[in-house]
Structure 1
């Protein structure tokens, strides 16, 4: 009964969840054009002349897909089964979809909260069109969420959860469709030409002033049918604080949210709804953050707020260490390699 209710709540959330964040991306090699910070279609970048960006985009684009009304980013395949360990935003999943505001994990080998609907990743052959192919999606754990938080007010330091992707795939047909329990027999097949998700260091801490690439799937699928990228610079903590003041003056809601340097960083780039949960990568293709919010008021500074992977890892490790050994044994095979 619990599983059925959670699945029904998820379906409802698909219709009503508002994506706060979105947007952006950048690279350590400045773009050749003057479009820094602007959203660009994936295919435009791939057909462009900036070989550094083309190579970087090829390296990371297979790691970012759709999840409900937003995006999700594959963090790693270094677990015991070689499955996809991904991160997305709590507001993309829909806060009402969780059974508790307290941190919780799900035993994916015994309880099935998986769904195919709205879950897509780029095809393993490297094509940029997602088509009608759906891939299984299993929430694995989320962390403590303030009882007062909503899909539109949740703070970056709480706005992320971790899930699993395996090889189960179906074409879109009737709604909804559910996978079997997580299949641990076969490593995930995905487009990862340089094995970014298996590297010794799949993630890193962003450096102030470095250019990064942000990748996600806007809800405006007519304009961005195959996803969008944006280039931007990582702002210093002092620059971020200055931006908060400017956002307040412009009347942008992001000005009302304090900047938390431990949990997040700012990128001077534009984003739009649907890119929440999308990844922010450095020039080496390492994942530095997950997009969760962005400014959108006219005449306000264009910024994207990204949760630091280092912060997410710390929260995951602390939660894991708080569990009993029996509970750890249930989730350790899925997070080994990043814990």
Structure 2
């Protein structure tokens, strides 16, 4: 059975302006008093901050485009060595799902794939994405409240998983669809340090350390090849304080309670389009994906990040609820991370 589906894409959010000092626990060398603004990827790669260049090269091949926003390859440690990615539900469009109850798709027999608007960094590491599209297969999502919309969905529900295989085409007449997911050819990506195959692909955020965020803003004029931000991970107490300040400033994020079991906050500014983009520590391990950000002028600038450990717990919970025949269909695509 072949299902052809055109997805709509939306984005909540905005990204970064941070003061970085030389007491950075993450180990990246930032000159004292220097302010690292949201930057073009190519500007960093052409700069002289070697530690930042090395980290960016370690992770940037894992972040690609999904519609007018972003997605992040978490791992290639599954049975087929394909790209297990995470993105935000509001990027996919929550009304595009057949149900708001948790579900997975048997992509080995049902074709929900699409090429359109799906891109990752070229295998050779070239900064420009070019016109090559890569096959994208939604794999599973979790429970979504009936009242949620693309702009009001909470971080606890705002993520889904998909698979990227090795099928590629050049941009052509819209739309283009791949064949059913191909499991015989491992995904080839720009991953010079093998971060997506490492024994520990993810980690938990450490308060006070800096995190690197990578995504694709909708502002293609100023950020044609993606953007990078670098921000401090806030403690729960600091996060609660930020939410209070945002409420006082009239920012929408001030009306959304902080949930430390689901998310953490980075002191940074994000641009629309970076939702679904990856947040990494200094080792290149994935800490989470961006889902929301403050955007009111003169208000504190924060990014809400869904924790990978929370995503992992939801995968495990859902997987354990399945009957054995469905476990057998799903496991080959998520094995290695559950």
TM norm structure 1: 0.95
Which of residues 21, 26, 34 in structure 1 aligns to 2:13? 21
Q: CA deviation at 1:31?
A: 5.1
**Which secondary structure state, in structure 2, belongs to the residue aligned with residue 85 of structure 1?**
strand
The Cα offsets for residues 133-175 of structure 1, whole Å up to 9 and x where unpaired, read as 1000000000000000000000001000000000000011100
**Which secondary structure state, in structure 2, belongs to the residue aligned with residue 277 of structure 1?**
coil
**Which secondary structure state, in structure 1, belongs to the residue aligned with residue 305 of structure 2?**
strand
Decide whether the 8 Å contact of 1:268 with 1:302 is kept in 2.
yes
**Separation in 1, partners of 2:231, 2:76:** 27
**Which secondary structure state, in structure 2, belongs to the residue aligned with residue 123 of structure 1?**
coil
The Cα offsets for residues 244-284 of structure 1, whole Å up to 9 and x where unpaired, read as 11101111000000000000000001101000000000000
Q: Which runs of 4+ in 1 moved over 2 A?
A: 1-4, 21-27, 29-38
Which residue of structure 1 lines up, in the alignment, with residue 82 of structure 2? 83
Instruction: Figure out how many residues of one structure are paired with residues of the other and give that number.
Output: 331
**Which secondary structure state, in structure 1, belongs to the residue aligned with residue 119 of structure 2?**
coil
**Which secondary structure state, in structure 2, belongs to the residue aligned with residue 168 of structure 1?**
strand
Q: CA deviation at 1:223?
A: 0.5
Superposition pairs of residues 140-159 of structure 1, within 5 angstroms: 140-159=139-158
Q: 1:61 to 1:224 in 2, by over 3 A?
A: same
Q: 1:92 to 1:32 in 2, by over 3 A?
A: same
Are 2:255 and 1:256 aligned? yes
Which residue of structure 1 lines up, in the alignment, with residue 51 of structure 2? 52
Which residue of structure 2 lines up, in the alignment, with residue 184 of structure 1? 183
Which residue of structure 2 lines up, in the alignment, with residue 73 of structure 1? 72
User: Any unmatched runs of 5+ in structure 2?
Assistant: 19-23
**Separation in 2, partners of 1:97, 1:145:** 12
Decide whether the 8 Å contact of 1:105 with 1:141 is kept in 2.
yes
Q: 1:161 to 1:181 in 2, by over 3 A?
A: same
Superposition pairs of residues 74-113 of structure 1, within 5 angstroms: 74-113=73-112
**Which secondary structure state, in structure 2, belongs to the residue aligned with residue 261 of structure 1?**
coil
Decide whether the 8 Å contact of 1:216 with 1:228 is kept in 2.
yes
The Cα offsets for residues 96-155 of structure 1, whole Å up to 9 and x where unpaired, read as 110000000000011111000000000000101001110000000000000000000000
**Separation in 2, partners of 1:259, 1:269:** 16
**Which secondary structure state, in structure 1, belongs to the residue aligned with residue 85 of structure 2?**
strand
Q: Over aligned residue pairs, what C-alpha RMSD do you find? A: 1.5
User: Any unmatched runs of 5+ in structure 1?
Assistant: none
Q: CA deviation at 1:38?
A: 2.6
Q: CA deviation at 1:47?
A: 1.2
Q: 1:35 to 1:163 in 2, by over 3 A?
A: farther
Q: 1:2 to 1:134 in 2, by over 3 A?
A: closer
Superposition pairs of residues 295-310 of structure 1, within 5 angstroms: 295-310=294-309
Superposition pairs of residues 1-339 of structure 1, within 5 angstroms: 3-4=3-4, 7-8=5-6, 10=7, 13-14=8-9, 17=10, 19-24=11-16, 28-30=26-28, 32-33=30-31, 34=33, 36=35, 38-339=37-338
Looking at secondary structure, tell me which structure has more strand per residue. 2
Q: CA deviation at 1:49?
A: 1.5
Decide whether the 8 Å contact of 2:266 with 2:302 is kept in 1.
yes
Q: CA deviation at 1:24?
A: 5.0
**Which secondary structure state, in structure 2, belongs to the residue aligned with residue 167 of structure 1?**
strand
Looking at secondary structure, tell me which structure has more helix per residue. 1
**Separation in 1, partners of 2:58, 2:282:** 10
